[in-house]
Amino acid sequence: MNTDLAWLFETPTRLMFFTGKGGVGKTSLACAVAVKLADLGKRVLLVSTDPASNLGQVFQQEIGEQVPTSIAGVHGLDALNINPESAAQAYRDRIVGPVRGLLPEDVVKGMEEQLSGGCTTEIAAFDEFTGLLSNERATEQYDHILFDTAPTGHTLRLLQLPTAWSQFLDSNTSGASCLGPLAGLEKHREQYADAVAQLADGSKTTLVLVARPLPSALAEASRTSHELTALGIRNQRLIVNGLFPVREGNDPIAISLRQRQLQALSEIPSELASLPKIYVELKPNNMVGMDALRALLASSPAPTPMLAECPRVSRVAFPPLSSLIDSMASGDHGMIMVLGKGGVGKTTIAAAIAVGLAKLGHDVHLTTTDPAAHLAFSVESNFPNLFVDRIDPQVERERYRQHVLQTKGKDLDASGLALLEEDLRSPCTEEIAVFQAFSRVLLESRKKFVVVDTAPTGHTLLLLDATGAYHREVVRHQQSSGHVVTPMMRLQDPEQTKMLIVTLPETTPVLEAESLQSDLRRAGIEPWAWVINSSLAAAVPSDPLLVARACSEIEHIDRVREVSGKVALVPFLPTDPSGSEQLLKLAAS
C-alpha cells in the first residue's frame, strides 16, 4: 500500500482542510503536515476549530486564541486555536442579551438552549475562520493556511440558502430548531459566500478526509465526501491513518487487528474508492512533540519499541462490565441509556448489558438506532425474556419531517420553506425524532429493563423541554393533591434511568465524552457510570507496538477515573463479539 504523502507537498493548495470523526487522528496529521511544509521553507498558519482541540498538547506549548502563536522549533509555523465554545457564547450574548429583562425568563432560557447545540457551535466557528480568511492583512504573510476540522455539508448548505434568516426565526415560535445563530449572521452574508466559493475552488483548496481503517470511520468519511461533492467541493483526498504494519509475531491481538483492518479496506465505500489516498502506519507513541510529528510522515518505518519502556501496562485494574450489570440488577426494572460518540462501540456494550440482565432472569427490551445493529445484535437469543428490536432513524426522521412541514411549513413562502427543509436535515432533527420513538418505550421501563443504544444528548432533551414546554406545563397545571411524573423527570431520576457514557482510552474520545457529560449535567442528568471500551491495556498484548500503544492509554484511563466515580473497563477483543455467549464473556472480561 502507498504510504507516500508527497502529493500533499509537491503542489499544495493554499488552503487545506482536515476533517474526520473524533479519534481518527486528523489533528495529528494536520500538525504533521504543517510542520513538514514549514520545514520545506513555507510560511504556514495552522488553525484549529475543533471543540476537542488539543493543539497545545501536541505542540507542548500554549496556543493563542486571538493572535497566532509561533511554534517553537519550527521556523515559519504559527498556530491559532479558535475556541468554538467561546465563539458560540459570543453569539448567545449578542442575540439573547438585548431581550434579557424584556421577555419572560422561561422564553429567554428557551432561546439560550436553542443556541447551545452543536449546530450553533459549528456555525459560530465557521464565522470565526471566514473572518480570518477575509482578513488579508492577517493572512497575506502565509503561503499556506491549514484548518483542523472543516465545516460539514449541513453548515455549508445553511450558509448558501438565499433566505431571510432572522424573519424565519422570528416566526418559528414553537418546535425544536438548530438555526438560532443564523439570526446574528445576516451582515456577514457576502463574507460567507466568498468563503464557500473558496472551498469549492480546487486551485485554492484541498479537503483531506481522515479515517481509521474501520468500517464506522470509513462510512463517516464516505458520507462527508458525498455531501461535499454535492456542494461542488470535489478536490478531496483520503488519508487512512493507523494501519497496523506487516510484522512477524504470533500475538493473536496483532494478527486479528491487521486482518480486521484489511477486511474494512477491502469493503471501502464506493465514494472513497476513487479518491487519491495514502496510508499512514500506526505508531507506537502518542503524537506529542516535534520528534513524533516528524516521524508520523517519515518514509522509513518506526523503530520497534522496547517492552521495558512500558512497565505500567500491568497496573490497570478496573472492575469488568459485569460489575455494573450486577449493580443495575439490584432493582427489577428501569431505563438504561448507552451514550457515546460514533465508533466507540456503544452498540456492543448495550447488547452485552441486555444479555447480562437477561441471564440474571430479568425481562429486558433491547433497542437501538444503529443501522448496522444486526452485526452486534446477533444475540441468537437463548433467553425468552429478552426482546430485541431496532428503531429506524430514517423512518422516524421522515415521520417528524412530515409533521413539521404540515404544521410549521404550511404558511411559509418558498425561501422560508427552503430554510425549514434544511433545518430538518440537521443532526439535531434526527435526535429529536428518535427521542420521540424512545419516549414510546419509556413507560415499559416501569415494569422491565429497557436498554437503549444511542441516547439523546442533554442539548436535545433541553431543547425539547424548552420548546414543547411539556415539563413546565404539566407541573404548572397539576393539582396540589396529585403527583405527576413527566418523561424529563424520569430521565433525571437515577433510580429510574441510568445513563452510561462509553468512550475509548484515547485523547479525543475522552474529551468528547467529558463534553457529553457536561451537556447532560446542564439538563439535570448525572451520568451513572462510564465504560472504557476496547482497551489494549486491559487486553495485555505481547506485540511490542501494541504494548507501547497500551502504555499510552494509561493517562486517559487515569483521566476517566478522575471525572467519574464509577467506571468499568472492557478489553480490546481479537474478534467482534457475536452471540449471547461472546457478549457474556465480554462483560466478564
The catalytically annotated residue of 19, 130, 445, 508 is 508
Is the pLDDT reported for residue 558 higher than 60?
Answer: yes
| pTM of the predicted structure, to 2 decimals | 0.78
SS3 363: coil
The pLDDT of residue 167: 43
301 assigned to some structural domain: no
413 assigned to some structural domain: yes
Domain hosting residue 279, numbered range? 6-295
Name the least confident of 43-52, 454-463, 484-493, 520-529.
454-463
d(CA 237, CA 29): 13
224 assigned to some structural domain: yes
CATH number (domain holding residue 505) = 3.40.50.300
Q: Which of 295, 328, 345 is the last residue before a domain boundary?
A: 295
Examine the residue annotation and report whether 93 is marked as an active-site residue of this protein. Answer: no
The catalytically annotated residue of 19, 21, 27, 152 is 27
264 and 339 belong to one structural domain:
no
* pLDDT, tens digit, 9 for 90 and up, residues 400-459: 888 888 887 887 777 777 777 767 777 667 777 777 777 777 778 888 999 988 766 655
CA angle 487, 489, 494 (to 5 degrees): 110
Examine the residue annotation and report whether 508 is marked as an active-site residue of this protein. Answer: yes
Helices assigned H by DSSP within 329-392 = 346-359, 373-376
409 and 552 belong to one structural domain:
yes
Is the pLDDT reported for residue 385 higher than 60?
Answer: yes
Examine the residue annotation and report whether 28 is marked as an active-site residue of this protein. Answer: yes
Is the pLDDT reported for residue 239 higher than 90?
Answer: yes
The pLDDT of residue 118: 67
The catalytically annotated residue of 21, 26, 36, 346 is 26
The catalytically annotated residue of 23, 184, 356, 458 is 23
Examine the residue annotation and report whether 368 is marked as an active-site residue of this protein. Answer: no
507 and 564 belong to one structural domain:
yes
306 assigned to some structural domain: no
* pLDDT, tens digit, 9 for 90 and up, residues 500-540: 999 999 888 888 889 888 878 877 888 999 999 999 988 88
d(CA 187, CA 537): 52
Closest C-alpha to 488, from 497, 479, 480: 497
- In this prediction, residue 169 has a pLDDT band, given cuts at 50, 70 and 90, of very low
309 assigned to some structural domain: no
282 and 358 belong to one structural domain:
no
Is the pLDDT reported for residue 212 higher than 80?
Answer: yes
Q: Which of 295, 328, 358 is the last residue before a domain boundary?
A: 295
d(CA 143, CA 306): 40
Q: Which three cell numbers stand for residue 588?
A: 466478564
Query: Do the Cβ atoms of 381 and 388 come closer than 8 Å?
Result: yes
Sheet-wide strand order for 386-390: 386-390, 364-368, 449-453, 334-339, 497-503, 529-535, 567-571
277 and 367 belong to one structural domain:
no
DSSP letter at 81?
E
Write down the mean pLDDT value for the chain: 78
Examine the residue annotation and report whether 41 is marked as an active-site residue of this protein. Answer: no
The catalytically annotated residue of 20, 22, 49, 50 is 50
d(CA 435, CA 61): 42
Does 468 or 576 have the greater pLDDT score? 576
385 and 495 belong to one structural domain:
yes
351 and 287 belong to one structural domain:
no
Does 143 or 303 have the greater pLDDT score? 143
d(CA 154, CA 159): 9
482 assigned to some structural domain: yes
Examine the residue annotation and report whether 347 is marked as an active-site residue of this protein. Answer: no
What sign does the CA torsion over 26, 32, 37, 38 have?
A: positive
70-88: average pLDDT: 85
383 assigned to some structural domain: yes
The catalytically annotated residue of 19, 20, 21, 28 is 28
- In this prediction, residue 219 has a pLDDT band, given cuts at 50, 70 and 90, of confident
The catalytically annotated residue of 22, 25, 184, 340 is 25
Is the pLDDT reported for residue 98 higher than 90?
Answer: no
305 assigned to some structural domain: no
434 and 574 belong to one structural domain:
yes
370 and 507 belong to one structural domain:
yes
Q: Which residues of 404-413 are buried (b: 16+ CB within 10 A; e: fewer)?
A: beeebbeebe
How do 69-70 and 77-81 pair as beta strands? antiparallel
Q: Which of 295, 329, 350 is the last residue before a domain boundary?
A: 295
329 and 235 belong to one structural domain:
no
Examine the residue annotation and report whether 25 is marked as an active-site residue of this protein. Answer: yes
For the chain, what is the domain count?
A: 2
The pLDDT of residue 330: 87
* pLDDT, tens digit, 9 for 90 and up, residues 20-40: 877 788 888 999 999 999 999
403 and 287 belong to one structural domain:
no
260 and 339 belong to one structural domain:
no
